[in-house]
């Protein structure tokens, strides 16, 4: 009798994995929009919505394996997911991050662009009163905010990690059923 590999990854398993991945991406997008308490402050992670719109997944089938990768078309997605250590100190939650700021400030224009998209009120440093958002005031604020971010780092948001954990509990049965159906289908094909 000839040796035959039994591959249990077939349409039912792939369909279950697709449903699981779609739900993870949906929950990750939701996680980005929710105000979440991070290092003592409530924050919304996705200011412009670009990060959420760029989330996706990819299933790669090879031999007897099926790999799932969650991706984003935004280059900063990994920094938000895992956090970034600061150049001088770090948030406790960002200490395990593989990323670290090397300079004492962010690149010019990055924070200024963020200030323009987010409706924040600027204050005078001496009088602590609100001031009009002139170009000079925006440049000052962007320099100070950029320096603070580079020194302290960015706390991780875990929008994908949390979505995976939330979704895993719900879809483990569907995935198991898909694999069982595919296994029985493979055995039926062998017996024929």
For the chain, what is the HEC assignment? CCCCCCCCCCHHHHHHHHHHHHHHHHHHHHHHHCCEEECCEEECCCCCCHHHHCEEEEEEEECCEEEEEEEECCCCHHHHHHCEECCCCCCHHHCCCCCECCCCCCCCCHHHHHHHHCCCCEECCCCCCEECCCHHHHHHHHHHHHHHHHHHEECCCCHHHHHHHHHHHHHHHHHHHHHHHHHHHHHHHHHC
At 91-117, the pLDDT tens digits run: 777 888 999 999 888 888 888 888 888
Which pair of tokens denotes residue 67? Answer: 């790999």
Structure tokens that stand for 126 in this block: 């001496």
Q: Which of 22-36, 113-127, 160-174 has the highest mean pLDDT?
A: 22-36
pLDDT band at 121 (very low <50, low <70, confident <90, very high): confident
Residue among 136, 138, 149, 141 nearest 105 (CA) = 149
Residue 127 CB partners (closer than 8 Å, separation 6+): none
B/e letters for 53-76, b = 16+ CB within 10 Å, e = fewer, are: eebebeeeeeeeeeeeebebebee
* Residue-level pLDDT at 159: 93
**Which is more confident, 44 or 159?**
159
Question: Would you state the structure tokens that stand for residue 132, as one six-digit string?
Answer: 């009009």
Please report the pLDDT score of residue 2 as a whole number. 37
- Give the residue with greater pLDDT, 9 vs 76: 76
In the chain, what are the domain boundaries? 1-83+156-192, 85-154
What gap in Å lies between CA 171 and CA 47, rounded to an integer?
30
Q: What integer pLDDT is reported at residue 190 of this predicted model?
A: 67
Residue 8: predicted pLDDT: 53
Neighbours of 11 (CB within 10 A): 11
Mean pLDDT on 21-47: 86
Nearest 10 degrees: CA dihedral of 157, 160, 162, 167? 160
Share of the chain above pLDDT 70, in %: 92
């Amino acid at each position: 009798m000839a040796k035959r590999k039994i591959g249990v990854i077939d349409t039912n398993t792939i369909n279950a994995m697709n449903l699981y991945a779609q739900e993870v991406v949906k929950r990750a997008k939701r996680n980005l929009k929710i105000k979440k308490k991070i290092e003592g402050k409530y924050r919304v992670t996705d200011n412009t919505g670009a990060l959420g719109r760029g989330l996706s997944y990819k299933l790669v089938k090879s031999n007897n394996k099926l790999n799932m990768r969650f991706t984003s078309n935004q280059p900063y997605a990994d920094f938000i997911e895992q956090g970034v250590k600061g150049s001088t100190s770090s948030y406790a939650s960002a200490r395990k991050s593989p990323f670290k700021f090397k300079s004492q400030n962010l690149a010019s224009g990055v924070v200024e662009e963020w200030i323009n998209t987010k409706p924040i009120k600027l204050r005078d440093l001496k009088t602590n009163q609100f001031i009009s958002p002139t170009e000079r005031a925006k440049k000052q604020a962007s320099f100070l905010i950029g320096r603070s971010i580079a020194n302290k780092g960015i706390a991780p948001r875990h929008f994908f990690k949390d979505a995976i954990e939330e979704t895993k509990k719900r879809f483990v049965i569907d995935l198991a059923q898909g694999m069982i159906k595919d296994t029985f289908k493979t055995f039926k094909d062998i017996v024929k």
